[in-house]
Structure 1
Amino acid sequence: MPKQTILKKKLALTVLGRCLSLLLVTTIASVGTSAQTSTKAKRPITHEDVWLMKRVGAPAPSPDGKFVVFSLVEPAYDPKDQASDLWLVRGDGSAPPRRLTSTKAAESDVTWSPDSRRIAFVTKREGDEISQVYVLDVVEGGEAQRVTSLSTGAMAPRFSPDGNTLLFSSVVFPGARNDADNQRIAAERKARKYKARTYDGYPIRRWDHWLDDTQTHLFVQPLAGAEPARDLLAGTKLVTEPGFGGRGTNAADTLDAVWTPDGTGVLFTATTERNAAAYAPVETHLYLVRVSGGEPQRLTNTGHSYARPTFAPSGQTLYALRTPTTDGKVYHLDRLARFDWKDGTLSAEALVAPTFDRSVESFGITPDSQTIYVTAEEAGHEKLFSMPARGGEAKLAFEVKLGCYVNLAIPPRASAPLLFANWESAVNPAEIVRIDLPAGRHTLLTTFNTTAAEQIDWQPLQHVWFTSRAGKRIHNMLVLPPNFDPTRRYPVFTFIHGGPHTMFRDQFFLRWNYHLLAQPGYVIVLTNYTGSTGFGEKFAQDIQGDPFGTCGSEITEAVDEIAKTFAYVDGERVAAGGASYGGHLANWLQATTTRYKCLICHAGLINSESQYGTSDTSYFRELANGGPVWEQNETWRKQNPIRYAANFQTPILLTIGENDFRVPLNQTLENWTILQRRRVPSRLVVFPEANHWILRGEDNKYLFQEVHAWLAKYLR
């Protein structure tokens, strides 16, 4: 019997009244460790269930693989009641995890010494005015010892290959040669009688804060004796370049610094083009600076950006993520590049798996330096792939039908390959796992959330595909409400992901938890529209020059196909909404269709033209729309929601964080003014302490109350 026929028969048996379209294939994933194994009475999910689940951080295995350190956040609605500490678990799972630290301040940036005895981490303890690096002997125990004392603080520590020196980063004032200079400049600025921000170039803002002239530098700190930390970049020509900076993140720049195998130098990523971000892509390159001093040497050529350099355990090969910059495309895969390394020089650059049409999320190299394992997004999951270290075809390690593997880590000095990661799904909050490659499964090393998850009435996501009118295969996931009855008909909320270059994943989503959205009795549709990642580079690039049109149509097509196929889906009671790019698309649906009973828009643009000029990023928007705004090409004119304001009539809920610089407050205010002028039923909620994300527990709880009330008003 053909495979497609078998799938159709199975689905017909599982869902009463379901009529399977020839265009639709559904796979219902299940796993033995999921919440469905419990026989106890279950209850609908609550915001408390979501927000108070323990948050297990990324695994940091010891070099020999015997232990894994990770952070554990024990959340609370009041931030002062929240705890975040380091825990330790044996790599073989032979003993339960134990707490390593117990302090008020959180710890971060954990790293191991080469002998697998000590860890270094960053925290702010009693007496510290700013975060510093501490070292703890895991084998002997005792109290952690502070090893840095810079007035500008410390982050991202790394032990030298001999374990005697720490490399770390600090954010310093330009021109400062030592900590005394930093203290003097800070005092001078504090004594100013005026307050002003002055700029001569781009960028000026990032995420939720204004930028200043401080820079991220690299320091080395001997662990023996009283020698002070030394700034490896102070006085170099590199840091005087107007566009100098590290790889930008939502917080501070990072330099991705690693020691060279012989310990005589430090490899890092940096840019000298940050000031060109308004009109060109910003490339980050690999640099080498000697610990003995001197000018950093750039090692890579123009045409690509590089990130996260990592040496193979053999010390003879360097790997880094590489992204093209010169072809004018709006999206590229992060691919793994390989370099031969000898005597401080790079040669023979090549892609490890040039035909691998997925973006590398995390990677690790086996102790024999022969194989690389990577995680990559694919159709709602983050899966594990292997590739020969010297180059070759990437292969799926084993099929993944539930959840995502993230934060892959492979200890470099283990006697055999050991793979550790976080694993999570929509019904399994994240835990630390050890991956068993021959068996194609994992073993849980932590179970902080399993008991709580078993008490909740939720089901794994259903994967659904359909072929759009344009001939594209479009992936979706369905979230079913608690106490699900296939004989009932449920209203639908199609939730739209942001990005656009992200993907709806089978994960435990904190800020917009899928099952909490479904809790009042909705079927949630999650569509990976054109522009999403995890479906190949071209699929993500196809949004260029067509930012809203195709993907907006696909979102509505998905709802219609699913309503025709599943008898429990009420195609007459449908709402749509999303956040960030999902909010952009909600406003596009407002402009172009009356299909939906109501809409929800969080942090969505209403005016592409003013968004271009006020967001913290602009060049991406120029690429996406096919030129600068003043050229007024067809995309700017025809795919801008505000130009269709005469069509606005669908009731809409608007929410926004006041400190959002990615989609600034002005976008929501423009939208609000138009809606009020048009007398469209609407509601505005502004969170004064929030940025692009609603991260305070009580704020997030109120957000869900508003969302549920809005949906109930128009769907129930």
Structure 2
Amino acid sequence: MTSPRLRRSLGSLLIAAACASLAHAADTNTTTPVAATQMQARHAITHEDVWLMKRVGAPVASPDGKWAVFSVVDSAYDSKEQWSDLWIKSLLDDSPARRLSYSKSGESAVAWSPDSRQLVFVAKRDGDEAGQIYRLDVAAGGEAQRLTSLTMGARMPKWSPDGKQLLFISDIYPGNKTEADVKQSAKERKDRKHSARSYETTAPRYFDKWLTDKQVRLFVVDAQADAKGENTARDILSGTQLATLPGFGGGQGDEGQSLDAVWTPDGKAVVFNAATNRDAAQREAVVSQLYLLPVAGGEAQRLTQDKHSYGSLKFAADGKTLFALSDAQTPGKVYDVKRLASFAWPMSNPAPTILTAKLDRSISRFVLPEGGKRILFSYEHAGLEKLYSIDTKGGDLREEPSLPTGTINSLSSGGKALVGVWESAINPPEIYAFNGKQPKRLTAFNTEKASKIDWQAPEHFWFTTADGRQIHNMLVKPANFDPNKKYPLFTVIHGGAASMWRDQFVLRWNYHLLAKPGYVVLLTDYKGSTGYGEEFSRSIQFDPLKGPGDEVNQGVDEAIKKYPFIDSTKLAAGGASYGGHLANWLQATTTRYKAIVSHAGEMDLIMQWGTSDGGFGRETNAGGPVWSNLPVWRDQSPIMQAGNHEKGTGFTTPILITVGELDYRVPANNALMNFAVQQRLNVPAKLLVFPDENHWILKGENSRFFYSEVEGWLAKYLN
């Protein structure tokens, strides 16, 4: 039950670290991002630069604050040649990070034991058909030991406070009571002679997957195998009445449903979030309430009694407070900011204390460093994500030391250590320490390669709309930029709409790679974007495309006025997902652009409501069901603007339409309808269908081809 992999103990790592410390100190002590101080010749970014950058994952700090473990993906165009391994970095000195695992399949869901000596993670090894939990004794070294062998695999392991047990998530099929039942059910499904799928509730699909009848469950297993190397996991949820409710379930993700679960401080129970109305998802908002479940067995007790959704559960070190992120799920509204909430523990009052009630921003993540007096967190604002803190009662909000640009996209605390990933548009992700002073870079996986690229940080500017809304923009310039020349403008529209353009290194729509041919790239956060408060994000309701489209157009106007190097006669627009919706809207309603690029773009609001996997939210955004005769369903569907072609006010711009055939979020029928109307109206158009891609283009060679097609399309009509 072990996996032969080369490992190093903490002791040997410390010895190696000491030897390398002096040599590495000069590099790791730098507190600034990559600077253009080297005199070497720099080159314009290439697709190889983007795709082959090391992908540094979120670090997990050990409870004693001495170590951080994180994954690093060594990307390759051929997925068979791609590697993903765990690395470990001392947080006590400047020694370089060391590789901890050597496995092609990679590891995920890393968790430290309470004594900081052992790790558990999820991996597929030695013939595993599903991810299983492995335990590695980091202090002693040796091989990783498999702790689970479940038919449906295991995910999201968490140590009990005493380090003797692990809580994790797995799945069963309806009616299963034992692992033998699960194995038999899986075999029966595999041996079926028919291929039909059956559904009685929505939604049957999620992103690129048809959903099955699997049911999510919570399991507990001993953290040590017995003398025979065996370990039996115990399902602690299936026997409850809660789990039998037809609408019971968790949040849907790529690996199936998930339940955010944590051990109670005494280790006798777990607190978790779950929904009981998933079967009504087409009729109402699905809410995730908090429940308490004894580990020894018994019924789950509902703790909260409102209509909010809760997640990101964490107990304070003294065990007297439970913290969570709360989404109010306000009826009739399309968006609520996530706020930091707390409950006294044991929970005597089901109503939370909202600690960030006065902060009009959505908390992305939070941690509870040693000491317990302050909570540290980050949130989006105007393209950046910085570090902030608040006291445990909800007062004294402070901005903590952060880098002036870029975004923090993960945080982890252990002891007095606080680590995370920081990146910017010209600084690919690296691990940083945030210690109350100037943030300190701890790794250098991508810094040398990044220093050889000719790129500039995005330039930020704002403008005011006619109704007084402040709109934030970023402008990206091409390599070898000369302010005395004229450049075509490519305005790229973000998806969401509940997201924002971030100063970060992007894989799928890399700003600098799009600018490389000699374009200025404009990134506008139209109304509906996050990072500007709850009202700003909600303002898209009842106005899903026209209002945002008008603001994208105004962003172009403002950029032309502000920057004389923009050639106002050579404009293009494009985007993906919601950005694709808006790209289609611009093509349907204006002739100012010379070329349009639309990936995963919606053409008909009614068709999208019926075929996508998020129908109720679209209904809320429109103000009522599709049969309510509300004008928005027709007036803001791009396809319904086809009459603009005869008026000369739209549907004339050449358009590149791209779609993944496995996209169930914006199904391919939108792209087919788009291409059909272009052909009907005799508009220059090109349709690219990727049979093996979903909502995004994720495979290396497909990505390279996509960028080359975008570049070719823009060159044809802008140059």
Match of 2:365 among 362, 365, 370: 362
How big is the shift at 1:345? 5.3
For these two proteins, the number of residue pairs brought into alignment is 679
CA contact (8 A) 1:36 1:459 kept: no
Give, in angstroms, the shift of residue 227 of structure 1: 4.9
Identity %, equivalent residues: 51
The CA deviation at 1:191 is: 2.5
Shift of 1:400: 4.7
Secondary structure, counterpart of 1:110 in structure 2: strand
CA contact (8 A) 1:575 1:596 kept: yes
Question: Does the 8 A contact of 1:586 with 1:601 survive in 2?
Answer: yes
In structure 1, what is the Cα distance between the partners aligned to 2:62 and 2:402?
28
* Matched-pair contact (CA < 8 Å) for 2:330–2:336: no
What does residue 598 of structure 1 align with?
A: 595
Q: Partner of 1:317 in structure 2?
A: 321
Partner of 2:563: 566
Once the two structures are superposed, residues 307-332 of structure 1 have per-residue CA deviations (whole angstroms, 9 ceiling, x without a partner) of 11111111110011111124311011
1:436-456 residue CA offsets vs partner (Å, 9 max, x unmatched): 32x3x3111110000000000
Equivalent in the alignment of 2:297 = 293
Of 455, 459, 463, 1:458 maps to 455
Aligned to 1:396: 399
- 2:538 counterpart of 1:541: yes
What is the rounded CA distance, in whole Å, between the counterparts of 1:592 and 1:400 in structure 2?
41
Secondary structure in 1 aligned to 2:571?
A: strand
Q: After TM superposition, give the deviation of residue 347 of structure 1 in Å.
A: 5.0
The 5 A counterparts of 1:672-711 are 672-711=675-714
1:533 counterpart SS class: coil
Deviations 1:428-484 (A, max 9, x none): 0001100132x3x31111100000000000001100111122221110000000001
1:192 Cα deviation (Å)? Answer: 2.2
1:65 aligns to what? 65
C-alpha distance in 1 between matches for 2:381 and 2:708: 33
Q: Quick check: 2:329–2:335 contact (8 Å CA) kept in 1?
A: no
Distance 1:348 1:474 in 2: 36
Report SS of the residue matched to 1:572. Answer: strand
Map 1:601-612 to 2 at 5 A.
Answer: 601-612=598-609
Counterpart residue number, 2:262:
258
Amino acid at match of 1:407: S
Tell me which moved more, 653-662 or 154-163: 154-163
Alpha-carbon displacement from aligned partner over 1:525-572 (angstroms, at most 9, x marks no partner): 000010110011100000100111111011111111111111111111
Moved more, 245-254 or 269-278: 245-254
Q: Counterpart of 1:120?
A: 120
Relative to structure 2, which stretch is displaced further, 292-301 or 91-100? Answer: 91-100
| TM-score relative to the length of structure 2 | 0.93
CA contact under 8 A between 2:498 and 2:537: conserved in structure 1? yes
Q: Which residue of 1 aligns with 2:233?
A: 229
**What is the TM-score of this pair, normalised by structure 1?**
0.93
Which deviates further from its counterpart, 402-411 or 678-687? Answer: 402-411
Letter aligned with residue 296 of structure 2? S
Query: 1:93: how far off?
Result: 4.1
Alpha-carbon shift at residue 251 of structure 1 (Å): 3.5
SS of the aligned residue for 1:36 comes to coil
1:306 is matched by which residue type in structure 2?
Y
| Alpha-carbon distance in 2 for matches of 1:212, 1:147 | 26
Deviation at residue 130 of structure 1 after TM alignment: 1.9
C-alpha contact 1:90 1:97 (8 A) present in aligned 2: yes
| Per-residue CA distance 1:85-109 (angstroms, 9 max, x = gap) | 0000011342110011001211000
Amino acid at match of 1:180: A
Is 1:656 matched with 2:655? no
Instruction: Compute the displacement of 1:368 (Å).
Output: 1.7
CA contact (8 A) 1:175 1:235 kept: no
Residue 53 (structure 1) aligns with: 53
- Pairwise CA distance, 1:658: 0.1
* DSSP-derived class of the 1:119 partner: strand
**Corresponding position: 1:429 with 2:428:** yes
Q: 1:345 to 1:182 in 2, by over 3 A?
A: farther
Matches within 5 A, 1:62-101: 62-101=62-101
Moved more, 232-241 or 511-520: 232-241
Structure-2 residue corresponding to 1:485: 482
Match for 1:447 among 444, 457, 482? 444
Correspondence for 1:276? 280
2: CA distance, partners of 1:300 / 1:383 = 31
Q: Secondary structure at the match of 1:700?
A: helix
SS of the residue corresponding to residue 192 of structure 2 reads coil
Is the Cα contact below 8 Å between 1:339 and 1:350 reproduced in 2? yes
1:142-153 alignment, distance < 5 Å? 142-153=142-153
Q: Distance in 2 between matches of 1:668 and 1:603?
A: 7
Q: What secondary structure is seen at the aligned counterpart in 2 of 1:410?
A: strand
Query: Structure 1, residues 599-629: CA drift from partner, whole Å, max 9, x if none?
Result: 0000000111111100011011101111111
For 1:558-637, what aligned pairs fall within 5 Å after superposition? 558-637=555-634
CA distance in 2, matches of 1:378, 1:582: 20
| In structure 2, distance between residues paired with 1:359 and 1:387 | 14
- Where do residues 511-522 of structure 1 align in structure 2 (5 Å cutoff)? 511-522=508-519
Q: Secondary structure at the match of 1:244?
A: coil
Whichever residue aligns with residue 288 of structure 1, its letter is: L
The Cα shift of 1:399 comes to 6.1
Contact 1:457 1:483 in 2 (8 A): yes
Describe the superposition over 1:21-70 as per-residue Cα deviations: whole angstroms up to 9, x where unpaired: xxxxxxxxxx9422423321100000000000000000100001100000
How many angstroms does 1:348 deviate by?
Answer: 5.8
List per-residue Cα deviations over 1:132-183 (Å, max 9, x = no partner): 1001111111111111111211111111111111111112112211101101
- Unaligned 5+ residue runs, structure 1? 1-30
Distance of 1:164 and 1:236 partners within structure 2: 24
Counterpart in 2 of 1:155?
155
State the secondary structure of the residue aligned to 2:253: coil
Query: Which whole-Å CA distance do the structure 2 matches of 1:651 and 1:296 have between them?
Result: 58
Give me the whole-angstrom Cα distance separating, in 1, the residues matched to 2:111 and 2:320: 22
Local SS of the residue matching 1:294:
coil
Alignment CA distance shift 1:587-1:281 (3 Å): same
- In structure 1, C-alpha distance between the alignment counterparts of 2:172 and 2:139, rounded to whole Å: 35
Mean alpha-carbon deviation: is it higher for 305-314 or for 53-62? Answer: 305-314
511-520 vs 564-573, which moves further: 564-573
Question: Is 2:507 the partner of 1:510?
Answer: yes
Root-mean-square deviation (CA), in Å? Answer: 1.3
Instruction: State the secondary structure of the residue aligned to 1:322.
Output: strand
- CA deviations 1:209-253 (Å, max 9, x no partner) are 111110111111113434511001122211211111112224411
Q: Would the aligned equivalents of 1:340 and 1:348 in 2 still touch at CA under 8 Å?
A: no
Question: Quick check: 2:401–2:439 contact (8 Å CA) kept in 1?
Answer: no
1: CA distance between counterparts of 2:625 and 2:448? 53
Residue 487 of structure 1 aligns with an amino acid whose one-letter code is: N
Correspondence for 2:376 = 373
* CA pair 603-627 structure 1, distance change in 2 beyond 3 A: same
Look up the SS of the partner of 1:248 in the other structure: strand
CA distance, structure 1, for counterparts of residue 50 and residue 231 of structure 2: 47
Query: Take 1:205 and 1:355, find their aligned partners in 2: how far apart are those partners?
Result: 38
**Aligned partners of 1:72 and 1:86 also within 8 Å:** yes
Structure 1 residue matching 2:570: 3-state secondary structure = strand
Specify the alignment match of 2:345 in structure 1: 341
Match of 1:170 in 2: 170
Q: Does 1:245 align with 2:256?
A: no
Which secondary structure does the structure 2 equivalent of 1:37 belong to? Answer: coil
* Larger deviation, residues 33-42 vs 178-187: 33-42
